A = this chain, B = another copy of it.
Amino acid sequence: MRFRFEVLVSLKEGLLDPQGKTVQDALPTLGWPNVSDVRVGRRIELTVDAEDEATARAQVHDMAERFLSNPVIERYRILEVEGTGAT
């Protein structure tokens, strides 16, 4: 069965995020002065072919931990994309 997941990767709290700062600095000029704490991260979407959802999810955790994120400076969370459970 195929299961589709989203892995959301973000920098850990307290780490400098130059990309987020650049976005934030641009916002007042564009008419949005009321925005703060902008952080930019990655969103990876993928399909795993596995026996069942638990196996697929465990593999996604493994991939997120070892390949898709850098656990020293980043944290991740995994969402299952709706409507893919029964494919």
Task: Contact check, A43 vs B46: say whether CB atoms are below 8 A apart.
Answer: no
Tally of contact residues, A, Cβ under 8 A: 35
With both beta carbons as reference points, the residue of chain B lying nearest to A2 in the complex is identified as: B36
Cα distance A20–B41 in the bound complex, in angstroms: 15
Given contacts A23-B46, A26-B67, A42-B43, could you give 13 more A-B pairs where the C-beta distance is less than 8 Å? A8-B43, A20-B44, A27-B67, A35-B49, A36-B46, A36-B47, A36-B49, A37-B45, A37-B46, A38-B44, A39-B46, A40-B44, A41-B45
Which A residues contact B (CB, under 8 angstroms)?
A: 2, 4, 6, 8-10, 20, 23-24, 26-27, 30, 32, 34-50, 59, 63, 66-68
